[in-house]
């Protein structure tokens, strides 16, 4: 009955709408320059501390949200996330003139709102689309990636909000928009009825022993399973390489192109172009790798993604000597990095069941937090030690190849 009266594609619309708003956390860089100037006068580490607080709170609260979703339901959790996220930015519009208040309101409160809502569209989407888990997961998280680009453009070159109305008024507009988008998207964040299935499909009976139907495992038991620690480790290795490039691609590009004879100004422009292509392909990669996972399974998809990323990292060592090659490498690395956010929710569902993916995936996602520290720090440390980012791509590439090897060891978990 529910299948006739509820169009499941509305869930996708709601998921993308929510994730477009949540992508605000990656748009923080558009505010940093204005915050270092009068009347704020933040130091650069202070501007980054707000961003780091947001990421940390996001990851921690996401675990809480996944567990509470069973009790309160996905719609209420998503709505709570929209309200909290919007409130953080709106309050910062009135009280965020100092670093401690922005740290609290944008970093902690805003990050908590993102953490509450993030896992809801992924969990609900995969339950409504058991036949297209990868594609739906990819579409949802692609919204998160593209959202960051949109909010940067709105505050910057499209409408110049920061220049025309100021940082805090921009916070106000953003807070209202974020809350409205998440609340509207939450309308369709409901789990399918018990016994729901998609006619004509048998998503749990694909090729191979590893593709057999997963037993539903709760997070308490999942943490004791080898499969959890395997995909957690793969996520660290793969995520570390992509985040190292995100954090350092512009500086690396300038270094590499200068070494090839390009002047500083031209190298800076070329590196900026490479960054833009990285972001675009990152969003497209989330959708594409999700679709690939539906065709060949998450195990093989993870193997291919990590293998390709490892090869790119190791050949980038000598490959990015021209503007064109730098753009090609940045695009390919961004494409593969985006796959992480589509494949790991699907792998979690495949190993530990669809029923508990909302509470299980946040624990897998903690690997991203570790990768977020390890990747950029690796790049910065190597550059300080050697004067170039080049050598950092060797351990990052090896880590990706190790992740590919680990992917081949994934086995269906026994109850």
* Model confidence band, residue 197 (pLDDT cutoffs 50, 70, 90): confident
* Model confidence band, residue 109 (pLDDT cutoffs 50, 70, 90): very high
* Model confidence band, residue 393 (pLDDT cutoffs 50, 70, 90): confident
Task: Tell me: pLDDT of 176 over 90.
Answer: yes
* Model confidence band, residue 246 (pLDDT cutoffs 50, 70, 90): low
pLDDT at 412: 64
Instruction: Determine what percent of the chain is predicted with pLDDT higher than 90.
Output: 38
Query: Identical fold at 2-186 and 209-407?
Result: yes
- Mean predicted confidence (pLDDT) in 194-213: 54
Task: Tell me: pLDDT of 66 over 60.
Answer: yes
Highest mean pLDDT among 28-42, 133-147, 289-303, 390-404: 289-303
pLDDT at 250: 65
pLDDT at 214: 57
- Mean predicted confidence (pLDDT) in 274-280: 80
Instruction: Determine what percent of the chain is predicted with pLDDT higher than 70.
Output: 90
pLDDT at 193: 87
pLDDT at 211: 43
Task: Tell me: pLDDT of 253 over 80.
Answer: no
pLDDT at 50: 87
pLDDT at 22: 93
- Mean predicted confidence (pLDDT) in 183-205: 78
- Mean predicted confidence (pLDDT) in 1-6: 49
Superfamily of domain covering 209-407: MFS general substrate transporter like domains (1.20.1250.20)
Q: Where along the chain do its domains lie?
A: 2-186, 209-407
Task: Tell me: pLDDT of 302 over 90.
Answer: yes
Task: Tell me: pLDDT of 208 over 50.
Answer: no
Task: Tell me: pLDDT of 207 over 60.
Answer: no
Task: Tell me: pLDDT of 364 over 80.
Answer: yes
Task: Tell me: pLDDT of 65 over 90.
Answer: yes
Task: Tell me: pLDDT of 313 over 90.
Answer: no
Q: What is the mean pLDDT of the chain?
A: 85
- Mean predicted confidence (pLDDT) in 187-211: 66
* Model confidence band, residue 388 (pLDDT cutoffs 50, 70, 90): low
Superfamily of domain covering 2-186: MFS general substrate transporter like domains (1.20.1250.20)
pLDDT at 201: 53
* Model confidence band, residue 82 (pLDDT cutoffs 50, 70, 90): very high
Over the chain, what HEC string results? CHHHHCCCHHHHHHHHHHHHHHHHHHHCHHHHHHHCCCCCCCCHHHHHHHHHHHHHHHHHHHHHHHHHHHHHCHHHHHHHHHHHHHHHHHHHHHHCCCHHHHHHHHHHHHHHHHHHHHHHHHHHHHHHCCCCHHHHHHHHHHHHHHHHHHHHHHHHHHCCHHHHCCHHHHHHHHHHHHHHHHHHHHCCCCCCCCCCCCCCCCCCCCCCHHHCCCCCCCHHHHCCCHHHHHHHHHHHHHHHHHHHHHHHHHHHHHHHHHHCCCCHHHHHHHHHHHHHHHHHHHHHHHHHHHHHHHHHCHHHHHHHHHHHHHHHHHHHHHHCCCHHHHHHHHHHHHHHHHHHHHHHHHHHHHHHCCCCHHHHHHHHHHHHHHHHHHHHHHHHHHHHHHCCCHHHHHHHHHHHHHHHHHHCCCCCCCC
């Amino acid at each position: 009955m529910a299948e006739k009266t509820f169009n499941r594609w509305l869930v996708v619309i709601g998921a993308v709408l929510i994730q477009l708003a949540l992508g605000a956390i990656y748009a923080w860089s558009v505010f940093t320059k204005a915050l270092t100037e009068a009347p704020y006068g933040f130091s650069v580490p202070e501007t980054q501390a707000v961003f780091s607080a947001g990421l940390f709170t996001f990851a921690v609260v996401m675990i809480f949200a996944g567990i509470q979703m069973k009790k309160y339901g996905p719609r209420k959790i998503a709505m709570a996330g929209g309200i909290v996220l919007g409130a953080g930015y709106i309050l910062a519009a009135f009280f965020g003139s100092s670093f401690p208040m922005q740290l609290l309101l944008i970093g902690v409160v805003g990050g908590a709102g993102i953490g509450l809502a993030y896992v809801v569209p992924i969990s609900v989407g995969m339950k409504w689309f058991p036949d297209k888990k990868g594609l739906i997961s990819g579409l949802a998280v692609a919204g998160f990636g593209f959202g960051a680009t949109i909010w940067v453009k709105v505050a910057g070159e499209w409408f110049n909000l920061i220049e025309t109305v100021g940082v805090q008024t921009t916070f106000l507009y953003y807070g209202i928009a974020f809350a409205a988008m998440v609340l509207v998207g939450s309308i369709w964040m409901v789990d399918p009825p018990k016994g729901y299935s998609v006619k004509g499909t048998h998503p749990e009976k694909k090729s191979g022993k590893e593709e057999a139907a997963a037993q539903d495992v709760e997070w308490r038991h999942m943490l004791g399973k080898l499969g959890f620690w395997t995909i957690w480790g793969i996520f660290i290795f793969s995520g570390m390489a992509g985040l190292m490039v995100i954090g350092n691609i512009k500086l690396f590009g300038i270094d590499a192109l200068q070494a090839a004879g390009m002047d500083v100004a031209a190298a800076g422009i070329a590196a900026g172009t490479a960054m833009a292509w990285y972001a675009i392909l990152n969003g497209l990669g989330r959708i594409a790798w999700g679709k690939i996972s539906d065709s060949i399974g998450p195990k093989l998809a993870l193997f291919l993604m990590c293998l390709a990323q490892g090869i790119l990292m190791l050949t980038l060592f000598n490959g990015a000597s021209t503007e064109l090659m730098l753009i090609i490498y940045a695009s390919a690395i961004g494409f593969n990095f985006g796959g992480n956010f589509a494949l790991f929710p699907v792998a979690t569902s495949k190993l530990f069941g669809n029923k508990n993916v909302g509470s299980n995936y946040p624990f897998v996602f903690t690997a991203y937090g570790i990768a977020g520290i390890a990747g950029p720090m690796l790049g910065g440390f190597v550059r300080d030690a050697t004067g170039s980012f080049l050598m950092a791509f060797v351990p990052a590439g090896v880590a990706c190849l190790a992740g590919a090897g680990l992917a081949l060891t994934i086995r269906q978990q026994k109850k």
